[in-house]
Amino acid sequence: MSGVTDLRALRAQTVAGDDDEREHVMPPGHRPGLRHLVEILLEDLDAAHAHDPAARTRLEVALAYPGVHALWVHRLSHRMWHAGLRLPARLLSQVTRWLTGIEIHPGAVIGRRLFIDHGMGVVIGQTAVIGDDCVLFHGSTLGGRSMTRGKRHPTLGNRVMVGAGAKVLGPLTIGDDVQIGANAVVVKDVPAGAVALGVPAHIRFPHQPPAEREKLQDPALIIEYMI
Ligand SMILES: CC(C)(COP(=O)(O)OP(=O)(O)OC[C@H]1O[C@@H](n2cnc3c(N)ncnc32)[C@H](O)[C@@H]1OP(=O)(O)O)[C@@H](O)C(=O)NCCC(=O)NCCS
């Protein structure tokens, strides 16, 4: 599927935005039963362990990673939000913000295996949607540009990376495999596979496809790549 088609498909999923329309944007498979929920929580743990070279054991990640704690609580508060327990869900998310420095509105739809690295200062708005296998660094914001109700926060595809301090503002669509540079301010849609840099962010396309970039980040694979 081309980047443009990807963006259209993502946008079609996310035009709804009012509180009671949020069910429309929940990707299939994201309203799990209890057993499935536990699997998802363990996946979250594994995602943090896999993404952070500093993580030594799963126990360490479970005890010492605020990004994992905030995400786990969000998995619960999101269910409470959709069960009609909106005030308790908001209070729970605010207590978590106080404890972790990460603010995730309970209405936000978050896919599987999100990794929030460091965490402090991350803000994820009510109508934000995040695909699978994304990474958010500290200080990143998925925020709104206006105070109007309805869909006003971004939609991220799969495997999107949002660098430290980056702001993604408005009901934008960020395609799969996009990388948003540290401190960028993104105010327009970004097509799949692109890199967004600067203020306001400009788009460029990397020379290597995302899978090749991943290889080059692993020193062991660089050697393999060169010989
Ligand atoms: C955007 C990013 C993914 C680009 O990585 P990359 O594809 O390896 O790109 P390069 O490092 O080769 O840089 C390519 C160009 O973009 C520039 N650039 C890189 N990151 C930038 C940023 N955040 N803002 C502005 N320009 C940036 C480089 O200076 C270079 O410019 P040039 O072509 O004029 O020389 C990466 O630089 C980044 O910002 N990652 C965020 C990571 C982060 O937040 N870490 C926090 C850890 S605590």
| DSSP secondary structure code for residue 27 in this structure | P
47 — phi, psi (to 5°)?
-65, -45
Query: Cα(133) to centroid of ligand 1, in Å?
Result: 20
**Cβ–ligand 1 contact at 179 (below 6 Å):** yes
Q: Which of 74-83, 152-161, 174-183, 211-220 has the lowest mean pLDDT?
A: 211-220
Say yes or no: CB of residue 200 within 6 Å of ligand 1. Answer: no
Predicted local distance difference test score (pLDDT) of residue 209: 64
Higher pLDDT, 191 or 34: 191
Ligand 1 contact, 182 CB (< 6 A): yes
Largest CA distance in the chain: 58
Residues in Cβ contact with 8 at an 8 Å cutoff, skipping those fewer than 6 apart: none
Residue 197 CA to ligand 1 centre (angstroms): 7
Integer Cα distance of 42 and 160 in angstroms: 21
* Least confident piece of the model among 29-33, 65-69, 138-142, 172-176: 29-33
Task: Please name the amino acid found at residue 4.
Answer: V
d(CA 32, CA 44) in angstroms, rounded, equals: 14
Tokens 């327990």 found at: 85
Atom 22, ligand 1: residue with shortest CA distance: 181
Q: Are strands 155-156 and 103-104 parallel, antiparallel or unpaired?
A: unpaired
